[in-house]
Amino acid sequence: MAQSRFDVLTIGNAIVDIIAPAKAGFIEAEGMKKGIMHLIDADRALDLYGRMPTDKQQISGGSAANTAAGVASLGGRAAFVGKVADDALGDFFQQDFHAIGVHYATTRLIHGAPTARSMIFVSEDDGERTMNTYLGACQQLTEVDIIEDEIGGAEITYMEGFLWDPQEAKKAFVLAAHYAHKNERAAAFTLSDPFCVDRYRDEFLDLMRSKTMDHVYANVHELKSLYQTQDLGEAVRQIAKDCELAAITMGADGAMVICDGEVTSVPAFPIDKVVDATGAGDLFAAGFLLGMARGQTLESALKTGCLAASEVISHVGARPQLDLAGLAREHGLAQALDG
């Protein structure tokens, strides 16, 4: 097996998050439900974006994209595959990822839907976040965007379950797993969301049982949904039979990994206050994936994942604000990552 170019390559929806304060009455006047995520069309997206205040904040996002950013912050060699359009927000996404050291070379969508965006209005009175998401170009990922040299050069390729919605992206998902295995690398995916599991339960189980996917990432709600049980122990027993490795986040109770039928668990890192849980699972995946790619023990990789998650939930936003590599050093977790 050739030497790897990347520790972790992630594949997912490329979305620019645009965050702005919302004055009293704006949410209601626009017909939005406060605190809810609304899926919107291109016309609505362009209209809302044009009327956002000048003090808006833009940041490249999407679940797997956040994971790639976390890997880079931990000092890992990260790559991301996701589709943006040949427009201003596509320029921003590419420049942002290059600036944080993530390899990103997916070809742009020409003469098609605009770059995906999630316009997040933060209410001035209580800080509630109301999201308006246009998926646009990110749903146009195809097999052409899956490059064997990139996949084959990554220790682990990690994909988000949300990619299972568009038919062409689904084909890209399976091709990426094929290239990973062809090059003797691991393929992993996250269940992404309980509603995503409800839509594709049988197909997700088939991905695991057919060995198309080696590793599965989920939280306890997604895991229980997958096996249609409220008994966590039963869900753990089921997934132990269905896949080689499953990493499960448990919120304040920490995380566990089920590998070859054995369960290893670690507690969560204590923090003063949970400010925003957005991105917790994405950053846990970053730490655990890099730990696995760099040969950490399962326990150490779990701790690295929980540490990364603890940082991101202590502030607003789904990207780390602190240098995660430095944080890992402070907690004695950097030695294996540096290996």
Task: Write out pLDDT tens, residues 26-42.
Answer: 888 888 888 777 889 99
In this prediction, residue 23 carries a pLDDT of: 83
In this prediction, residue 66 carries a pLDDT of: 95
C-alpha–C-alpha distance, residues 282 and 273, integer Å = 19
Task: Write out pLDDT tens, residues 79-106.
Answer: 999 999 999 999 999 999 999 999 999 9
Does the pLDDT value for residue 196 go beyond 80?
Answer: yes
Instruction: Quote the radius of gyration of the chain (alpha carbons, Å).
Output: 19
The percent of residues in the chain predicted with pLDDT above 90, rounded, is 68
In this prediction, residue 73 carries a pLDDT of: 95
Angle between helices 194-209 and 232-242 (to 10 degrees): 40
Q: Which amino acid is at 87?
A: D
What are the b/e assignments for 147-185, b being 16+ CB within 10 Å?
beebbbbbbbbbbbbbbbebeebbebbbbbbebbbebeb
Task: Write out pLDDT tens, residues 211-236.
Answer: 999 999 999 999 999 999 999 999 99
Which of 23-27, 67-71, 206-210, 224-228 is predicted least confidently?
Answer: 23-27
Cβ count within 10 A of residue 233: 9
In this prediction, residue 1 carries a pLDDT of: 60
In this prediction, residue 294 carries a pLDDT of: 93
Residue 57 binned pLDDT confidence (cut-offs 50, 70, 90): confident
In this prediction, residue 275 carries a pLDDT of: 78
Does the pLDDT value for residue 184 go beyond 90?
Answer: yes
Average pLDDT, the chain: 92
Does the pLDDT value for residue 339 go beyond 60?
Answer: no
Does the pLDDT value for residue 24 go beyond 90?
Answer: no
Residue 156 binned pLDDT confidence (cut-offs 50, 70, 90): very high
Residue 208 binned pLDDT confidence (cut-offs 50, 70, 90): very high
Polymer length of the chain = 339
Does the pLDDT value for residue 113 go beyond 90?
Answer: yes
Strand partners, 19: 57, 120
Q: Which amino acid is at 54?
A: T
Note the pTM of the prediction, 2 decimals: 0.92
Q: How far separated are the first and last CA of the chain, in Å rounded?
A: 18
Task: Write out pLDDT tens, residues 276-300.
Answer: 777 889 999 999 999 999 999 999 9
Does the pLDDT value for residue 329 go beyond 80?
Answer: yes
- Among the listed residues 153, 249, 254, 164, the one whose alpha carbon sits nearest the alpha carbon of residue 213: 164
Task: Write out pLDDT tens, residues 118-154.
Answer: 998 888 777 777 889 999 999 999 999 999 999 999 9
